[in-house]
Amino acid sequence: MPALNHLLNQSSTRTAIAHKNGAINWNEFRAQVSAWQIALQARPQTDWALYFKDTGVFLAALLGAWCAHKTVYLPSDALPATRDTLAPMVGGFIGDFTDADLTHVTPVVVKNLTIAADLNCVFFTSGSTGQPKPIVKTITQLMLEVATLQQQFGGLFNGITVHASVSHQHFYGFIFRVLLPLMSEQAIDNCLMVYPENLLSLPAQPFILISSPAFLSRIAEHPDWHTIAPNLKAVFAAGGELKPEHAQHVQT
């Protein structure tokens, strides 16, 4: 926790969130976090469901909720049925839900940002074998996981923008697409790579792809793949079996 709280209170103009319409620097991002903290501190509910498609807004709201000492539930979507399922568990809804309690905030002047170690974050299983089940993680557990991954892979993330084809609402995407680059002080892309061809429109700069076997299996022959090859520094894949032939095809 000390590392996260120290990071949140740093002043910097480095890029925090990469955006197709421009970039959000770290100081601007912290102002958003502070605004979410203030908005949620003014509300008595302790448990909140959070869903934003935009990764940058999601992360600012999440950190703001943690600074406000709120427990956050992270569903895989914001569909009405999901909202109905969550309603008995939470006191409010943040983000892209229909009739959400909070959908946006206005950035404010940042004061001290502090996250307590005893907070919980609730994830959900995919629901592929039944109703999605809640999985509770403490923030301390999340930070320990990130610290371990930094020891193993941290060097790969230096000076790298992180792009992804997996949702930040799922545990894998949350750790590798959001928390790991956050703690490594790297830029995070706010948009999801829906199709492999989306990679061809990325800026000519080094990047890491956080992906899934399904996404990688859909990479078809294309004459322009060579243009991104020098910039792609690593590919992470999880969430299913990565068949050797698909891995070899991507490597080629």
* Sign, CA torsion 18/24/26/31: negative
Distance CA 208, CA 37 (A): 30
- Nearest Cα to Cα of residue 50 among 41, 67, 63, 69: 63
Beta sheet of 120-124, edge-to-edge order: 92-95, 47-51, 71-73, 120-124, 134-138
Q: Has residue 185 got a pLDDT over 80?
A: yes
**Phi, psi (deg, nearest 5) at residue 239:** 100, 0
Average pLDDT over residues 22-31: 94
Distance CA 23, CA 52 (A): 18
128-132, 138-142, 182-186, 188-192: which has the minimum mean pLDDT? 128-132
Q: What confidence tens digit (pLDDT) does each residue in 232-251 have?
A: 999 999 988 999 999 998 88
Of the two residues 157 and 136, the one the predictor is more confident about is 136
Distance CA 251, CA 208 (A): 14
pLDDT-derived band at 191 (thresholds 50, 70, 90) equals confident
Q: Has residue 1 got a pLDDT over 80?
A: no
Q: Has residue 129 got a pLDDT over 80?
A: no
Q: Has residue 203 got a pLDDT over 80?
A: yes
- pTM for the whole thing? 0.93
- Long-range CB pairs of 23-32 (<8 Å, 24+ gap) are 23/187, 24/56, 27/110, 28/107, 29/56, 29/59, 29/60, 30/110, 30/113, 31/107, 31/108, 31/109, 31/110, 32/57, 32/60, 32/64, 32/105, 32/107
43-57, 79-93, 141-155, 220-234: which has the minimum mean pLDDT? 220-234
Distance CA 209, CA 162 (A): 6
pLDDT-derived band at 22 (thresholds 50, 70, 90) equals confident
Res 159: pLDDT: 79
pLDDT-derived band at 226 (thresholds 50, 70, 90) equals confident
159's tokens: 């000076």
- Nearest Cα to Cα of residue 162 among 141, 184, 143: 184
Mean pLDDT of the chain: 92
Res 72: pLDDT: 98
Cβ(31)–Cβ(211) under 8 Å? no
